Amino acid sequence: MIAIILGPQGSGKGTQAAVLRDRLGMLYIASGDVLRSARASDTELGAVVRRYMDDGHLVPDEITVRLILDIMTKAPADRDTLLDGFPRTVAQAEALDEALTEQGRRIEVLIELIAPLEVVQGRLQSRLVCRTCGAVYNSITAPPKVEGKCDVDGGELYRREDDNPDAIDRRLAIWERQNTELLEYYDGRVEHLRVDADRTAAAVADELVDELTRHKV
């Protein structure tokens, strides 16, 4: 099964994806992580990716699609896979479909995490991230045990540069446009799981694990 997880920043996508990886053994591919690691390499590709990412632009489709497909084709074809952050545009969705069709595979499930705008805005404004392992906390609803320190590895917690009200609004507006186009593209092609993300992470996780387990049988 190949699933895509969609949801605005602050909807808990990363948290839920980690649960699905750990509880269902899914291969988890987050395009942001893949591109950040390409960005860090001392190659021509790394330099190109760096230029786009550092300017806050999307990396060109031909690079992004190639990097993600590379990871997918290296894994066994029957490995359950969860894509996060990719596809982000209809052009990427089409390229992905084309490549998967050649391999006799397809996207089966689209998970949509739904939460009111004010909820995700609030979560992003109080989001704290570990500088070393990337674990995510919320200073109000899910604070770390020791203030300013990560529960997992004791790393320093920080607020992302782009988690300020103006940048949050800008990112959410871009996300909304891309999301609408993707939902239209996938409408009728895949099973669409709409999940209420305005609940505790544990409640959302239980529903997702149940739904995907049911899908597999």
By annotation, the residues acting in catalysis are 13, 88, 127, 160, 171
Pull the structure tokens for residue 191.
């099973």
Nearer residue to ligand AMP within complex by CB, 93 or 204: 93
Specify the pairing of strand 27-30 against strand 81-84: parallel
Query: Binding of ligand AMP at residue 16 (CB under 6 A)?
Result: no
User: Beta-strand (E) ranges in 7-139?
Assistant: 27-30, 81-84, 107-114, 127-130, 136-138
CA torsion 32→83→187→217, rounded to 10°?
Answer: -160
Partners of residue 29 on adjacent β-strands: 83
Residue nearest to ligand AMP (CB): 32
Q: According to CB under 6 A, which one of 11, 31, 81, 138 is a site residue for ligand AMP?
A: 31
Binders of ligand AMP among 80-119, rule CB under 6 A? 85-86, 88, 92
Shortest Cβ distance from residue 182 to ligand AMP (Å)? 11
Partners of residue 111 on adjacent β-strands: 5, 193
Nearer residue to ligand AMP within complex by CB, 56 or 216: 56
Shortest Cβ distance from residue 103 to ligand AMP (Å)? 20
Query: Binding of ligand AMP at residue 35 (CB under 6 A)?
Result: yes
Nearer residue to ligand AMP within complex by CB, 32 or 143: 32
Binders of ligand AMP among 38-57, rule CB under 6 A? 52-53, 57
**Beta-carbon neighbour count of residue 125 at 10 Å?**
16
Shortest Cβ distance from residue 31 to ligand AMP (Å)? 3
Which of 46-85 are b and which e, b meaning 16 or more Cβ less than 10 Å from the residue's Cβ?
eeebbebbeeeeebeeeebbebbbeebeeeeeeebbbbbb
Binding site for ligand AMP (CB under 6 A): 31-32, 35, 52-53, 57-59, 64, 85-86, 88, 92
